[in-house]
């Protein structure tokens, strides 16, 4: 442990350890930055996470962080997963769920007595009722979660370490959003007030405040409260686009919050991967396909892509239209999308959903697709766009929020509500190979790639500009940093105020 007056950079990995499955979006960014900073071997870099029982920070050994990073990149992939069987295999330890038992009962005891002509409409009504019941149950679980304080995620795995005695020279860097952790921002603010350490936040977007209808009831108010606490706590905010910086400043001005310095860092776009083996390659790669990567939620605008693909098939014939591959886990408010994918025969035949793809598989999908689509309504950045360009692939994307910052005129842009324009751009790339080759050549010539290493170095330079020389790459931080003055006049004045 460094001496008391030494500057220590604590990387808050609460978001990383709260997440399960393959890292996407914000957890992916946190994982990539942790990976890069671990490789840099800073002598004074340590890891911590919030303990909600003691309302303090606990140190996390580097070995646990590396193990977590490995687990996030090794999730089991699922390609259009079939429903679980109603009857488990003989000897299975997994009992059937209530829903499975009900389906099994209806199939064995009720179905034989229903006349054949009315079976199909009755089944459709029953499925609609089942979807409604699922929706009600999910809403009830969300309300129960909001009403009861959330315990520390993975509490059993927390090391039994004493609370960190953070000093005024220490810097806590929170690269995760933090909003998913109940009361997290209040804990950080109180700890900072008591101990005097400095805090740096990587913030992504203000979408829940600007577009509350893209999220569940009450989430916008919760997010605004978290965001207000974060702005009051931060000595430095780093965000992922100029557009997000404008949104943050506008929010601070509207609510009379003293705004900390807000800087912009460009996210990396390289995938940490090993070559996908033959058995790992998704079957959709057997034929030409178009790719869209992003969480399946209302904001990502996948319903627009379903309508575009239906119109393509109507105009050009099913045999001439390639498959559309959607890669992403389920998110907010996707009932309409699920219904389309299940009920529209053209969607079922030409649209495939892949979940839990590893980096190696995602790498293979980007490398082999014809081009990509990203019609999102609003984004803090739009990582799949930059990933597509890094692979030299054309991208048809929205022209809203931060997305034009990524590729400029190297991407084909449309208004997220303009389905006709999206259809025109897709048709041009599908049925004019010469034009598609021309676009890919422009990308190869003019697109400047950004690695996660570049992103981590940008982040470090911004911290040094506003907080002083806080990182130590020497072997013994105690011997070299005990008397270092890491103060910064602007930050000191803001803390005093």
Q: What is the mean pLDDT of residues 306-315?
A: 95
Q: Encode pLDDT of 348-404 as tens digits.
A: 889 999 988 888 889 899 999 999 999 999 999 999 999 999 999 999 999 999 999
The pLDDT, as a whole number, for residue 123 is: 74
Is the model's pLDDT at 87 over the cut of 80? no
Cross-strand bridge partners of residue 289: 323
Phi then psi for residue 491, to 5 deg, are -65, -40
pTM of this structure: 0.76
- pLDDT higher than 50, residue 239: yes
Closest CA to 16 of 55, 84, 70: 70
- Reading across the β-sheet that carries 56-60, which strands appear in turn? 56-60, 45-51, 9-12, 171-174, 198-203, 236-239, 262-264
Of 377, 384, 375, 405, the C-alpha closest to 243 is 405
From its phi and psi, is residue 367 left (phi > 0), alpha (psi between -120 and 50) or beta?
A: alpha
463 with 200: CB under 8 angstroms?
Answer: yes
Question: 263: helix, coil or strand?
Answer: strand
In terms of Cα–Cα distance, which of 318, 321, 309, 303 is closest to 370? 321
Spell out a b/e string for 300-318, using b for 16 or more CB atoms within 10 Å of the CB, else e: bbbbbbbebbbbbbeeeee
CATH T-level fold of 9-75+154-268+452-491? Rossmann fold (3.40.50)
Closest CA to 480 of 40, 6, 9: 6
Reported as a single tens digit per residue, the pLDDT across 1-16 is 444 445 899 999 988 8
Query: For the chain, how long is the longest CA-to-CA vector?
Result: 86
Name the strand (E) or helix (H) holding 326: strand 323-327
> What average pLDDT does the segment 172-188 reach?
77
What pLDDT does residue 79 have? Answer: 40
Q: What is the mean pLDDT of the chain?
A: 80
Where along the chain do the CATH 3.40.50.2000 domains lie?
9-75+154-268+452-491, 278-446
Q: Which two tokens stand for residue 278?
A: 């033959």
**Rounded distance between C-alpha atoms, residue 429 and residue 33, angstroms:** 35
Q: Which residues pair with 172 in a beta bridge?
A: 10, 199
| Segment holding 193, helix H or strand E | helix 184-195
The DSSP letter of residue 154 is: T
Q: What is the pLDDT of residue 119?
A: 64
Residue of 112 and 38 predicted with greater confidence: 38
Under 8 Å between Cβ of 243 and 405? yes
**Which tokens belong to 458?**
């940008």
Tell whether the model's pLDDT for residue 481 goes beyond 60: no
pLDDT value of residue 176: 83
Q: How far apart are CA 186 and CA 178, in angstroms?
A: 11
The torsion angle over the Cα atoms of residues 98, 104, 109 and 113, rounded to 10 degrees, is: 120
- Tokens 């009755």, residue? 122
Query: Which of the given ranges, 6-20, 124-138, 397-411, has the highest pLDDT on average?
Result: 397-411
Structure token pair of residue 85 = 């069987």
- The two three-digit tokens of residue 36, written as one number: 């890069």
CATH topology of domain 278-446: Rossmann fold (3.40.50)
**Pairwise pLDDT comparison (31 vs 72), residue with the higher score:** 31
The edge-to-edge listing of strands for the beta sheet with 289-293 is 78-79, 351-355, 323-327, 289-293, 372-374, 395-398, 412-414
pLDDT at 250 over 80: yes
60 forms beta bridges with: 47
Average pLDDT over residues 212-241: 91
């Amino acid at each position: 442990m460094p001496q008391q007056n030494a500057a220590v950079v604590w990387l808050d990995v609460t978001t990383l350890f709260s997440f399960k499955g393959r890292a996407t979006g914000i957890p992916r960014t946190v994982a990539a930055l942790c990976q890069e900073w671990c490789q840099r071997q800073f002598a004074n870099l340590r890891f911590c996470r919030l303990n909600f029982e003691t309302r303090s920070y606990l140190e996390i050994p580097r070995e646990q962080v590396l193990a977590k990073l490995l687990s996030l990149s090794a999730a089991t992939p699922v390609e259009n997963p079939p429903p679980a069987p109603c009857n488990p295999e003989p000897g299975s330890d997994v009992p059937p769920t209530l829903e499975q038992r009900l389906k099994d009962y209806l199939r064995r005891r009720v179905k034989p007595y229903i006349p054949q002509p009315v079976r199909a409409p009755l089944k459709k009504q029953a499925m609609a009722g089942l979807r409604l019941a699922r929706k009600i149950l999910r809403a009830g679980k969300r309300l129960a979660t909001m009403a009861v304080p959330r315990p520390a995620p993975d509490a059993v795995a927390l090391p039994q370490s004493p609370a960190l005695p953070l000093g005024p020279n220490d810097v806590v860097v929170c690269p995760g959003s933090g909003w998913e952790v109940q009361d997290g921002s209040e804990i950080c603010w109180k700890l900072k007030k008591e101990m005097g350490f400095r805090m740096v936040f990587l913030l992504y977007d203000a979408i829940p405040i600007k577009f509350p209808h893209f999220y569940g009831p009450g989430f916008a108010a919760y997010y605004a409260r978290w965001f207000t606490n974060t702005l009051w706590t931060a000595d430095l905010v780093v965000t992922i686009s100029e557009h997000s910086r404008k949104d943050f400043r506008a929010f601070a001005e509207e609510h009379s919050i003293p705004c900390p310095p807000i800087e912009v860092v460009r996210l990396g776009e390289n995938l940490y991967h090993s070559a996908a083996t033959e058995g790992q390659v998704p079957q959709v790669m057997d034929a030409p396909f178009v790719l869209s990567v992003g969480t399946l939620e209302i904001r990502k605008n996948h319903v627009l892509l379903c309508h575009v693909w239906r119109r393509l098939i109507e105009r050009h014939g099913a045999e001439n239209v390639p498959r559309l591959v959607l890669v992403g886990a389920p998110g907010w408010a996707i009932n309409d999308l699920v219904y389309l994918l299940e009920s529209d025969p053209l969607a079922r035949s030409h649209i495939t959903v892949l979940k839990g793809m590893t980096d190696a598989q995602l790498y293979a999908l980007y490398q082999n697709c014809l081009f990509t689509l990203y019609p999102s309504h609003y984004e803090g950045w739009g990582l799949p766009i930059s990933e597509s360009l890094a692979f030299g692939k054309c991208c048809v994307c929205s022209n809203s929020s931060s997305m034009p910052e990524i590729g400029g005129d190297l991407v084909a842009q449309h208004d997220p509500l303009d389905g006709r324009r999206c259809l025109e751009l897709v048709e041009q790339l599908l049925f004019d190979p010469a034009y598609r080759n021309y676009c890919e050549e422009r990308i190869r010539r003019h697109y400047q790639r950004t690695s996660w290493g570049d992103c981590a170095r940008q982040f470090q330079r911004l911290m040094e500009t506003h907080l002083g020389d806080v990182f130590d790459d020497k072997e013994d931080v105690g011997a070299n940093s005990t008397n270092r003055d890491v103060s910064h006049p602007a930050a000191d004045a803001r803390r005093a105020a």
